[in-house]
Amino acid sequence: MRWTQTYIPTLREQSSEAELISHQLLLRGGFIRKLAAGIYIYLPLMQRVIEKFSRIVREEMNKSGAIEITMPVLHPAEVWQESGRYDTVGKEQMRLKDRHLHEMVLGGTHEEIVTYLLRGELKSYRQLPLNLYQIQVKFRDEIRPRFGLMRGREFIMKDAYTFDTDEDSFMVAYQKMVDAYFAIFKRAGLDTKKVESDTGAMGGKAAHEFMLIVDTEGGEEVIMFCDKCDYAANIEKATFREINPPEVDNEVLEKKEVDTPNASTIEEVTAFLKVDATRLVKTLIYLADGKPAAAMIRGDRNLNLTKLKNQLNAIEIESAPPAVVEDVTQCPVGYAGPIELPKDMPIIVDNEVSKMKNFIVGGNKKETHIINVNLDRDFRATAVADIIDAPEGEMCPHCDGRLVAKQGIEVGNTFMLGTKYSESMGAKFLDAEGNEKPFIMGSYGIGITRTPQAAVERYHDEKGIVWPKNIAPYLVEIIPLNYEKDEHKKAAEQIYAELVNNNIDCLLDDRPERAGVKFNDADLIGIPLRIIIGDRALKQGKVELKARGGDEVVMADLGDVLTAVKGLLERIN
RNA sequence: CGGGGUGUGGCGCAGUCUGGCAGCGCACUUGCUUUGGGAGCAAGGAGUCGGAGGUUCAAAUCCUCUCACCCCGACCA
């Protein structure tokens, strides 16, 4: 492709709409433009990246035995009402009415649709197993779209759905997808980690996420790794074992109210009472589906909302507004404690707290705390469970290694759905004995538009993008420093024709721009290999080859460029 | 939804407090010069100042309402 014949609107200045480096580079490099919050136009370069990545995804999915279909973006609401998710997915689901006033939704995922499809058609175990996938636009009306393609409202996703007769068969299908995912990301130049994750609104038994680890702030999720074994889980899910629990008193002491003037935060209370935060227990008030609930965790820990939500079996959970806190504690915010809370209010106590003795809690009274409090003697727990974020440095749940935190970007996920959808929607088959059984299902996603941005977040330098070659929009960029000059033009055209004839994707910068502009744009858009045509080398009948990722310049004879290009491309990631 | 902020040529911004000719840089067009890391000079095109209403002799600027977008939080199949 010639630069002057395509559309690559690079920008010299930064755009104010982008926070993340990858988002900024995609905008400046002329890959994307925003139409509305979280809704983007893919320009020619992005279109090519999407095509390249999609092709890899298709090839590997097909290789694994999955079959491609395409399902609609617009769905009748009834199908979602059947599975019950119409009431649980929340406002992310975009809803609208058609001209007949029928309730419709925009698909944010397709479990319901694929189950609807197969329940009428797949009736025998002989037709199983089956894996259907599609590469399709999804729409999720995110509360707060941000980070460009990373959290858009409209995006492209590869989603696959497996149908199996039993657990064993399902595990084979699941493992095939996991293998395919590693193959896909590897081909795209991305080293990913498979981590355990919460199943969220998807439901089902277990789930994994495929994470690209990044050093930048582009990481959207914290992942806990074991430094010894291969345990890895995202922070929502990660568990741990405590290495050195603080010492516990032998005797249970008498509880006592103490005045704590102007001390409502953990820092203030620890400073005032001159104790360690590990002696304090925070009582946090949340609204679980609108009803108040208390969570008790050690003073130095972070509450894990996902874990708490799962404990409470809630669909929606949010921190209680001050008015609610004041109502249940009968005192100003900052002094909540477990004693004398309303009787019907659930109190979830963290594992660690259940092992503590004589700890300090809020007094449910202004500027008052209570010391030497003990579980069971002084208050009751509705449940004792792990409800905190696994802290870095604590022990791995599976071995004696230590947990390490890293930032990651989720590029794929796999869910073990079990029979959640097949049962609720009556999707059943007859087994060999003639018994009716629901399908065992799995669902598997890959972000087709977010993965390339994740790649940019991972592979860039101060001048621009450094695309992994298999998802780069072009493999080679030919830069004649002065295209108006006959010798430059002639050499450029000759090389261009030769590469094109050999099916090497190649971009010819035929603009009447100065060298500096071309170099800077080339750095920005990140084509893996660059051929520079200028007087210096041309005098000796040569051109210069340079990889985007390195400094090394290779000289090649004009007649020998194809071989040199092929050789260099072999060596590039 | 709560808190904070921004809307002025394609992009980035100044001007708003204290009402008085709509400006700057980049980009764009034309010409000449230049040509190995974002050229110089000259000329030029382009803006209902987010929208509606109001105050005023006069509104980008003040008042009311409204829309959009961004940041923090909750959320994220």
Phi, psi of A218 (to 5 degrees): -65, -15
State whether A300 and A441 are in the same domain: no
What is the number of alpha carbons within 13 Å of residue A254 lying toward its C-beta? 1
Find tokens 């029928």 and name the residue: A102
User: What pLDDT was estimated at residue A143?
Assistant: 84
User: What pLDDT was estimated at residue A118?
Assistant: 94
State whether A415 and A501 are in the same domain: no
Strand B, CB < 7 A, residues 442-471 of A: 443, 445, 463
Covered bases, chain B (protein CB within 7 Å):
1, 11-13, 25-27, 34-39, 68-77
Give the span between the Cα atoms of A382 and A312, in whole angstroms.
10
State whether A447 and A471 are in the same domain: no
What's A482's domain CATH number? 3.40.50.800
Q: Which of residues A422, A456, A490 is at a domain's end? A: A456
Mean pLDDT across chain A, nearest whole number? Answer: 92
- Strand B within 7 A of A534 CB: yes
Q: Model confidence over A323-351: pLDDT tens digits? A: 888 888 888 888 899 998 998 899 999 99
Look up the ipTM and state it. Answer: 0.92
State whether A74 and A213 are in the same domain: yes
User: What pLDDT was estimated at residue A568?
Assistant: 96
Instruction: Report the pLDDT averaged over residues A544-569.
Output: 96
- Strand B within 7 A of A290 CB: no
Residue A48 vs residue A244, higher pLDDT: A48
Q: Tell me if A24 is assigned to some domain.
A: no
What's A272's domain CATH number? 3.90.960.10
Instruction: Report the pLDDT averaged over residues A268-296.
Output: 89
State whether A556 and A426 are in the same domain: no
User: What pLDDT was estimated at residue A90?
Assistant: 75
Instruction: Report the pLDDT averaged over residues A436-450.
Output: 96
Q: Domain of A359? A: 256-385
Q: In the 8-state DSSP scheme, what is residue A402? A: B
Give the alpha-carbon dihedral of A16, A20, A26, A28, to 10 degrees. 30
Report percent pLDDT > 90 for chain A.
75
Q: Is the pLDDT of residue A219 over 80?
A: no
User: What pLDDT was estimated at residue A356?
Assistant: 93
Q: Tell me if A31 is assigned to some domain.
A: no
State whether A440 and A534 are in the same domain: no
Give the span between the Cα atoms of A556 and A542, in whole angstroms.
5
Q: At what angle do helices A450-458 and A44-63 cross, to 10 degrees?
A: 110
Report percent pLDDT > 70 for chain A.
100
Which residues, listed in sequence order, are joined to residue A15 by a DSSP beta bridge?
A: none
Query: Using an 8 Å Cβ cutoff, are A329 and A335 in contact?
Result: yes
State whether A105 and A234 are in the same domain: yes
User: What pLDDT was estimated at residue A506?
Assistant: 97
Question: Strands A476-480 and A529-533: what pairing?
Answer: parallel
User: CA A450 – C1' B27 distance (Å)?
Assistant: 29
State whether A440 and A372 are in the same domain: no
Q: Tell me if A442 is assigned to some domain.
A: yes
Give the span between the Cα atoms of A110 and A133, in whole angstroms.
10
Q: Model confidence over A69-86: pLDDT tens digits? A: 999 999 999 999 999 888
Q: Is the pLDDT of residue A268 over 80?
A: yes
Query: Using an 8 Å Cβ cutoff, are A25 and A453 in contact?
Result: no
Q: Which of residues A323, A355, A385 is at a domain's end? A: A385
